[in-house]
Amino acid sequence: MTTTLPPRDPDSRVAQHSQPGEHMTPDEFQRYGHLLVDWIADYYRNVEQYPVLSQVQPGEIRAQLPPDPPQTGEPFEAMLADVERVILPGITHWQSPNFFAFFPANTSGPSILGELLSAGLGVQGMLWATSPACTELETHVLDWVAQMLELPGHFLSTSTGGGVIQESASSAALCAVLAARERATGFASNEVGCDGTLTAYISTQAHSSIEKAVKIAGLGRERLRLVEVDEQYAMRPGALAARIAADRAAGLTPCFVAATIGTTSSTAMDPLPEIGAICREQGLWLHVDGAMAGTAALCPEFRWMQRGLELADSYCFNPHKWMFTNFDCDCFFVADRAALIQTLSILPEYLRNQATESGAVIDYRDWQVSLGRRFRALKLWFVIRHYGVEGLQMQIRRHVALAQTFAGWVEADPDFELAAPAPLSLVCFRHKGGDAVNQRIVEQLNRSGALYLTHTKLDGQYTLRMSIGQTHTEQRHVAQAWALIRAASRG
């Protein structure tokens, strides 16, 4: 293709603008696209100037929007002006290097461009035939990712399993619960419904998305056992085995365990070898959730956390958290793709096609809840190629080093203490003065706009979480955060 750049003279815009109500022409798209790209570049140049946590009150954004939709079309410049005037004050800046809340949802230039290309091509990836490249690039890049993390071989598409991009770890967990439910009932629950006898197991520290999945799948929250954890907040395998035995004795059917490598609350690592052995022996589906911390396994020195993963039936982690790929991009791997496909497959007449019936292709609509899907592999492909494996390793090591430096400062300060082990990029800590002091620190700092920090509770105590993983966070941001935290603790 040859690229013809339209004139950038502002006066020519009016003349070339399409008639109201007409489609935006390619020339107009080029001009406004450049304008928006420039705007985004400036956003990143200036992002540290904004309060990290939006300071608006409920209803404040809506109050600035017109009550009725416009009857006639408006120029793009008007929208962009409103983005700056109305929207920007209501943004909590997840891409600020001073964002330390929840978990990172970091992104990067190549990822943003991959999302743009996906939107530009506008293809549906529900079937192989509806865009073969959408399916094949996804399968291929997920095999790359499995190699990059050194995942067990059965998670590769060239073996019995394979990977798929899910919207989130929540939807991945739901698919895992469903496949477990079906495998445990000989694929009968899909046909006759649940009967209230299936049980599932997580630690008390597992993510809320697993409970949500268990409820959605019709198992019932009361059938989800919250297994006790040790002093490092990791699941106790003995307690798991005892729960399973008790349920069997009560005539119930244990079917699913979710273990976490890197809990949201505190990066606790459930012991996969022991949990996996129990699941194998008992015939339970083991899903491993590495949503937040899984990216660390790009580096060989952090792969200890994957020990035992060869015993898992499914695994997920989120490049949209800590691998510079914008939401949504959860990588979900299964060891036995046939079980997943049999669980989720539907084939109405209007979707029949030769490629599907040949059996030679993957139709990803059978690997997820929704039928439709966009071309999400592009952004992951761009990210991996932009950084290369070594570049990604370097960036992850930087974040971990920053977190370890921060943890060292906490340990060295007589007024503060670590609240849990900090093996990777999340540091759970607290001021020794008690819940009220810690709560005041969070509220005061978030209100200041200088940084954004959130909390959890560990052993019933209010605990601060310093989550380091935004793309552009450097030592100076972490050092400033620590200075502000110490200052806030003094009132």
Q: Which of residues 191-220 bind its own copies (CB under 8 A)?
A: 191-196, 198, 207-209, 211-212, 215-220
103 touches 292 (CB < 8 A): yes
Q: Is 314 in the site for its own copies (CB under 8 A)?
A: no
* 321 vs 469: CA distance, rounded Å: 8
| CB-nearer residue toward its own copies: 12 or 147 | 147
Instruction: Classify residue 24 by its DSSP letter.
Output: P
Label residues 8-20 b or e (16+ Cβ within 10 Å = b).
eeeeebeeebeee
| CB-nearer residue toward its own copies: 384 or 451 | 384
Strands 426-431 and 461-467: antiparallel
Minimum distance of its own copies from residue 414's CB (angstroms): 27
Contacts with its own copies in 222-251 (CB under 8 A)? Answer: 222-223
202 touches 258 (CB < 8 A): yes
Q: Is 252 in the site for its own copies (CB under 8 A)?
A: no
Strands 314-317 and 285-289: parallel
Minimum distance of its own copies from residue 407's CB (angstroms): 19
180 touches 285 (CB < 8 A): yes
Q: Is omega for the bond preceding 247 within 30 degrees of 0, making it cis?
A: no
Contacts with its own copies in 38-97 (CB under 8 A)? Answer: 38-46, 53-54, 56, 58-62, 65, 68-74, 76, 78-79, 83-84, 86-95
| CB-nearer residue toward its own copies: 58 or 491 | 58
Q: What is the DSSP string of 283-345?
A: T-EEEEE-TTTGGGGGSGGGGGGGTTGGG-SEEEE-HHHHSS--SS-EEEEES-HHHHHHHH-
Q: Is 350 in the site for its own copies (CB under 8 A)?
A: yes
Minimum distance of its own copies from residue 158's CB (angstroms): 10
Number of residues that bind its own copies (CB under 8 A): 175
Contacts with its own copies in 375-394 (CB under 8 A)? Answer: 378, 381-382, 384-392, 394
| Stretch of 279-287, 322-330, 402-410, 411-419 lying at the interface with its own copies (CB under 8 A) | 322-330
Q: How far is CA 347 from the centre of its chain?
A: 29
Minimum distance of its own copies from residue 317's CB (angstroms): 14
| CB-nearer residue toward its own copies: 108 or 489 | 108
| CB-nearer residue toward its own copies: 210 or 311 | 210
Contacts with its own copies in 430-469 (CB under 8 A)? Answer: 454-457, 465
